[in-house]
Amino acid sequence: MVTRVENGDAQSFNPWLNVVSLIEQAGATLGLNAGMIKRIVTPERILEVAVPVRMDNGEVEMYTGWRIHHDTSRGPGKGGIRFHPSVNVDEIAALSADMSIKCAVVNIPYGGAKGGVRVDPTTLSRSELERLTRRYAFDIATMIGPDRDIPAPDINTDAQVMSWIMDTISMLRGHPVPGLVTGKPLAIGGTVGHAGATSLGVTICIETVLRRLSRAPRDQRAIIQGYGKVGAPLVKLLTDRGIRVVGVADVHGAIHVGSGVDPDTLAKHVSEAGTLLGYPGSDEVSPDDFFSIDSEIAIPAALGGSITEKVARSLSASIVVEAANGPTTGDGARVLAERDILVVPDVLANAGGVVASYFEWAQDMQGFMWERELFQQRLEKTMRLAIDHVWTRREQLNVNLRESAIAVGVERIAEATELRGLFP
């Protein structure tokens, strides 16, 4: 079951308690009754599974996995699957609630779900990873389906993992089920615009915010924590729009380049060296000091809980755009608010990924693939409408952007819940 522990520093930060407090606060702001707030907070179903895997040496290892449906009042559950040694039920529950709100914020007909396995996939061979994936897919088979819950890639999972999940469930059901997962390869029902959609959504949010604040992109410096599926494309996307990326961090360390990094040169260096460190013309920076690098825009694009109270107090930027899920602790968010730092929250900033997943699912269900131009046009329109609406509600409710985004999501979930009523 989802636990309740005291929130504190990054080590004791509990993401579930954090998202509960945000939903409860939004409910109070909107004047929802206590019963409705409880319904929105409480996950609909939590499945914990034991995942036995036969290793290449013949021995059997046991792993633990979860799939959680937080809310499906607005449509099928939607949420990624992550393979990571830190995965736990609180993390998955919090992420599933984030997905409920995120899908409502961008106004797509999905609810929220999330899944994961507590495992370090870097210790597995490819065949062991496939057996783990297929067994986990079998164990959660009753929870997922095109009209029930549609998984997608997340941390340490990719298009290949989605292919194995789709194939496993297709074998169980006796027919192809391409709409079961998103983030698939093109050859089996993927879509041309999915790769990089989260990064593009973050970029659209930054452009919209800068326009509303009357700031020219060429006058902005950005730092990006994380150089993976989201952070790496962001370096180029922002640079192409005139924003200087002066700091980047990965799992090995962090660098500072006052004149701004060159995206292509950096990508080539990382490909050859396996790390950002040593990039020509850069100064190595302690990860503890990364967010204090002089900048106007800070983008956490790694794991959750990275912006603690201490980090928030040392932050140089005046805008934070949460490309990662849950990157700011409760105490960190309080300090950012006290300092009047504008925060574009994760449920809005990184929603480009789930919008792309929705488009892929829609194409699979229709059996008709869209052109790249149409995909990108619809993604940009959806993201711009979402941030404009959140910004307007911010002014109407007289709250900050994070509180406004959560309120928009909770408001739409509450509307759907009220319209559907209570069975029996």
- Name the residues annotated as catalytic: 114
Beta strands in 90-236 (DSSP E): 111-118, 149-153, 221-225
Tokens, residue 27: 């409910």
For helices 401-420 and 89-105, give the axis angle rounded to 10 degrees.
90
**162 and 87 Cβ atoms separated by less than 8 Å:** no
Rounded CA separation 265/273 (Å): 12
**Residue 199 near residue 237 (C-beta atoms within 8 A):** yes
Residues 6+ apart with CB under 8 A from 233: 196, 199, 200
Burial class (CB in 10 A: 0-12, 13-18, 19+), 405: buried
CA-to-CA distance for 16 and 1, rounded, in angstroms?
11
308 sits in the region (left: phi over 0; alpha: psi -120 to 50; else beta) called beta
Q: Say how far residue 144 (Cα) sits from the centre of its chain.
A: 19
HSE at residue 168, side-chain half, CA atoms within 13 A, is: 22
- The single-letter code of the amino acid at 183 is G
Q: What is the DSSP string of 393-421?
A: HHHHHT--HHHHHHHHHHHHHHHHHHHH-
Which residues, 6 or more positions from 194, have their beta carbon under 8 angstroms from its beta carbon? Answer: 182, 183, 356, 357, 359, 360
Q: Which helix (H) or strand (E) holds 103?
A: helix 89-105
* Residues 109/74, Cβ–Cβ less than 8 Å: yes
